[in-house]
Amino acid sequence: MRGIMPAMPAVTRSAETVADVLVVASSRLAGVLTLQTLLLGGLAAALLGLAWLCVRRFTSAGRRGQAGDTADRALIGQLNESLQRSEARFRSLMGLSSDWYWEQDAEFRFVEVIGKPPAAMAVLENLLLGKRRWEAPVVGMSETDWAAHRALLARHAPFRDLEYGLRLPDSERLFHVRISGEPIIDEAGRFQGYRGIGTDITARREAEAQLRKLSTAVEQSPVSILITDVHGAIEYVNPRFCQTTGYAAAEVLGRNPRILKSGAASEATYRELWTTITDGREWAGELHNRKKNGDLFWESVRIIPLLSAHGEVMNYMAVKEDITLRKEMTAREQLRQEQMLHHARLAAMGEMAAALAHELNQPLAAIANFSGVLEHQLTASPADPTQMREVARTITGQALRAGEIVWRVRAFTRKHETRRMPTDVNALIREVAPLADLAAKSRGVIHDYDLAPDLPRVTIDRVQIEQVLLNLIRNGVEAMEDVAGERRLRLISRLTDNGSAVQISVCDRGHGLADRVLADLFTPFVTTKPDGMGMGLSISRDIVEAHGGRLWVAGDEDGGGTTFRFTLPVKAGEE
């Protein structure tokens, strides 16, 4: 590698030559150093001083004649030493600096690169030495950029802060550099090449790229992002915020986010919000806000305090999502479900009313018959009080049975508000099963109760789970309508293996599931029955899932027919 200084002049050279060398060397340094640091600039100034001193001494020594020769040699020796020290200092400083010095010949080929830590230096030397800048594997400069740069070089003009990337051999990594240079013109005014300083800006570029990525993510985020200072003054909003609220960024910068307040949330909510975030904790909740045009909207909001390295709150960032539509849809879906439930119950009630007439007919007919018997006995003589009491008891029994039927139907149809209570599932099954029979208009079905004792109570909306059981039992009973032989329906309750839920199974011995409904059994309006609505299973699954459970068809495990099974979590509040 060539030195920054020209080769050391022989002691025999004239002092003018030495002085010239020093002037050139120091001006070279100065050229570099103005680009580099003031510190190195000082070193260059010292060299210039030395040159001046040399010229002066030589002139006076010439005048003194031969006697001055020894003194001159000593002086030149000192100057040589000083020059070497300066060169060593320069190299050491360049080595410490994150920058490097480069030099090109008149053909723009790199002849020298000094400085930088050894590893990067090796890369630079390998990539650049002997090549023109645009011959190295560079990126980030277009053809036009290069053409403009080369035109500038052709004019021998200085240039500053040219930035480009060097692709490292066998690596995807880019080494980003920023260079400044100026032409080297010799004493005769001839162009000798270029020299200058290069700076490694890779870390800065990578940080910039990272920042760009992050800021693009924030800018293009599908959620609103708002950043305030510690006093709540807005410092940044992303485009989605502007889209959602109708405010332009300039309209909100410096203002407090309370401009969005609709007044719907209580002061306590805001107090709690501020206490949480000033404490350095995250706050999450839903706020009802107002757009610029006055429209109200719901937002799901997360406010995150941005902390400094010392843990102090620097800013607050709110990440907000407009959930107005979702809220409306949830409300609509809830309404739709309630309406479906209502219709299903009405349909069930209609069917039950017909069955009720039939069912009541029996005890009423019995009452009428036995009343006739009683009347007959009253007029007979001798009257038989024991027999009459027996008949009266039968009449009472029938009347009570009729009353019970009416009471159950009334209980089922009474106005209902959603309310979850700890409930004994076994008792519920025993109560609902006979009602389901009524609804299915089917007679002669034997109920087998296989109910696990000591089941924990489950927190459920009793009427909704009644509805599920009613649907499943009625389906089971109806599936057995045309089946020859014993019509048996098993109702099983169990605690699941891990004890987290109660599992209820309704097993019939009916005709099994028709192939055409298998695929979408739980889809609304899928039915094989001429007067079916196809809503029962869909509603039942919705209800069970709303309780945190699962409803599925378990096939014909019970020896033919179909088994429907559902779970209800034991722990309350699992939605």
The answer to whether 512 and 520 have CB atoms below 8 angstroms apart is no
Closest distance to ligand ADP from the beta carbon of 516 (Å): 8
Question: What whole-number distance in Å separates Cα of residue 14 and Cα of residue 54?
Answer: 11
Residue 322: burial class (beta carbons within 10 Å; 0-12, 13-18, 19+): buried
Which residues in 338-496 belong to E strands, given as ranges? 420-423, 446-451, 458-461, 488-495
Closest distance to ligand ADP from the beta carbon of 563 (Å): 8
Q: Which two tokens stand for residue 292?
A: 């610029």
Q: For residue 331, what is the DSSP state?
A: H
Count other Cβ atoms within 10 Å, centred on residue 26. Answer: 24
Q: Give the CB-nearest residue to ligand ADP.
A: 536
Residue 301: burial class (beta carbons within 10 Å; 0-12, 13-18, 19+): buried
Identity of the residue numbered 362: Q
Choice between 224 and 563, CB closer to ligand ADP: 563
Question: What whole-number distance in Å separates Cα of residue 70 and Cα of residue 78?
Answer: 12
Choice between 54 and 551, CB closer to ligand ADP: 551
Choice between 289 and 562, CB closer to ligand ADP: 562
Closest distance to ligand ADP from the beta carbon of 315 (Å): 55
Q: How many residues does the chain have?
A: 575
Count other Cβ atoms within 10 Å, centred on residue 116. Answer: 22
Closest distance to ligand ADP from the beta carbon of 458 (Å): 23
Question: What whole-number distance in Å separates Cα of residue 406 and Cα of residue 353?
Answer: 10
Choice between 41 and 532, CB closer to ligand ADP: 532
Q: Which two tokens stand for residue 221?
A: 């985020």
Closest distance to ligand ADP from the beta carbon of 335 (Å): 21
Closest distance to ligand ADP from the beta carbon of 461 (Å): 19
The answer to whether 103 and 5 have CB atoms below 8 angstroms apart is no
What is the 3-class SS of 138-198, one letter each residue?
EECCCHHHHHHHHHHHHCCCCEEEEEEEEECCCCCCEEEEEEEEEEEECCCCCEEEEEEEE
Closest distance to ligand ADP from the beta carbon of 284 (Å): 39
Closest distance to ligand ADP from the beta carbon of 528 (Å): 3
Question: What whole-number distance in Å separates Cα of residue 491 and Cα of residue 447?
Answer: 7
Q: Which two tokens stand for residue 274?
A: 């501020």
Choice between 371 and 527, CB closer to ligand ADP: 527
Contacts of 475 (CB under 8 A, 6+ apart): 508, 536, 537, 564
Contacts of 495 (CB under 8 A, 6+ apart): 452, 455, 456, 501, 502, 503, 570
Kindly report whether the peptide bond that precedes residue 183 is cis, defined as omega within 30 degrees of 0: no
Choice between 212 and 529, CB closer to ligand ADP: 529
Closest distance to ligand ADP from the beta carbon of 402 (Å): 28
Closest distance to ligand ADP from the beta carbon of 430 (Å): 20
Closest distance to ligand ADP from the beta carbon of 472 (Å): 7
Closest distance to ligand ADP from the beta carbon of 376 (Å): 47
Count other Cβ atoms within 10 Å, centred on residue 445. Answer: 20
Ordered DSSP codes for 187-239: TTS-EEEEEEEEEE-HHHHHHHHHHHHHHHHHHT-SSEEEEEETT--EEEE-H
Choice between 495 and 521, CB closer to ligand ADP: 521
Backbone φ/ψ region at 246: left (φ over 0), alpha (ψ -120 to 50), beta: left
Contact residues: ligand ADP, CB under 6 A: 471, 475-476, 479, 508, 510, 512-514, 517, 521, 526-529, 532-538, 562
Closest distance to ligand ADP from the beta carbon of 567 (Å): 18
Choice between 467 and 538, CB closer to ligand ADP: 538
Torsion angles phi and psi, residue 383, rounded to 5: -70, 145
Choice between 54 and 537, CB closer to ligand ADP: 537
Contacts of 188 (CB under 8 A, 6+ apart): none
Choice between 323 and 513, CB closer to ligand ADP: 513
Closest distance to ligand ADP from the beta carbon of 512 (Å): 6
Count other Cβ atoms within 10 Å, centred on residue 319. Answer: 17
